[in-house]
Amino acid sequence: MKQLLKTLTETFAPSGYEDAVRKVILKEVKPLADEVSVDALGNLIVRKKPAAGAKNPKKIMLAAHMDEIGVIVSHIDKKGFARFTNIGGTFGRYTLGARVRFLNGVTGVVGYDRLEQVDNTIPINKMYIDVGATSKENCPVKVGDVAAFDRSYIEMGERIVAKSLDDRSGVIVLIETLRAIKSTPNDLYFVFTTQEEVGTRGAGTAAFGVNPDIGIAVDVTPTGDTPSSLKMVMELGKGPCVKFRDVGMISDPRVVDWMIQTAEKAKLPYQREVLLVGSTDAREIQITRAGVMTGALSIPVRYVHSASEMVDYNDLKNSVKLLTEMLKKPVSF
């Protein structure tokens, strides 16, 4: 599980450019699936059919997004410095000084225009990427080229630190859940979505195509366990979080109860999540077609949308256990 997570996080796949990570995922899931397809937006849709004789199986869609935040070149000056804008929630406080890697393999360092007060928060329109060029003519990147943070995976005890744990954490939880479920009375669709970071776009088209009875997004959630953080109860190492509400959606109480009752019966740790910032693919799944009863399972993460996001390995393992317990039995509502 850790080796696969290392591979997933060190693969570069900003929103709209998910091909590389989709290939990694496809290699893992194809032997486990009954059907595999890729839709027009690049969502990878993996079906596990209900066991023979299952009565009135529920169609359940589980979604984890493949894409990560990034940057895109908007201008190159005469000295070869590349100006850029964001793809998704790329924040200035995390971007300054970062190394980035372009999809063509070129690396760069993010610098900034001179400011009178260097401690000021710097917007990304005051930054540039230095790729080692000396002129516009020998600059190895062009306007429209995209990049993501360049940072290797490391382990710190039970804590894992890497770029793009949002949401390669959710991706690996879905892969390992699919691996763990040998038989199910439900009709399961494991969907690895595109373009979540720029507006949950892939989840919307995928949900429209799947037309599920129940939707569950598996994503990360910021924690409230660091100094001077927002007053939220989510902590690393205390188990997966059952979402009640975020900025974009309110979870269906039936899905919330199903998740909590399953966790308690299986004696698995869980946390109750009310998220004060951000949303997930669940927002888009919930309002597709005539509406879908939807919830979300969240993995606690520190330093979200930085090059060094942090999760607890036990939270990943317990997320897999909880989903496996939920999906291997008939749904009664």
Annotated catalytic residues are: 196
Six token digits for residue 117? 């007060």
Token code pair at residue 302: 């520190």
Angle CA 82–86–88, to nearest 5: 155
Long-range contacts of 105-108 (CB under 8 A, 24+ apart): 106/131, 106/140, 106/141, 106/145, 106/147, 107/131, 107/150, 108/82, 108/132, 108/141, 108/147
Instruction: Give the C-alpha separation, 315 to 331, whole Å.
Output: 24
* Furthest C-alpha separation in the chain: 72
How many other C-beta atoms can be found within 10 angstroms of the C-beta atom of residue 257?
Answer: 14
- Provide the residue count of the chain: 333
Q: Which residues contact 219 (CB under 8 A, 6 or more apart)?
A: 64, 65, 166, 167, 170, 196, 280, 281, 282, 296, 298, 299
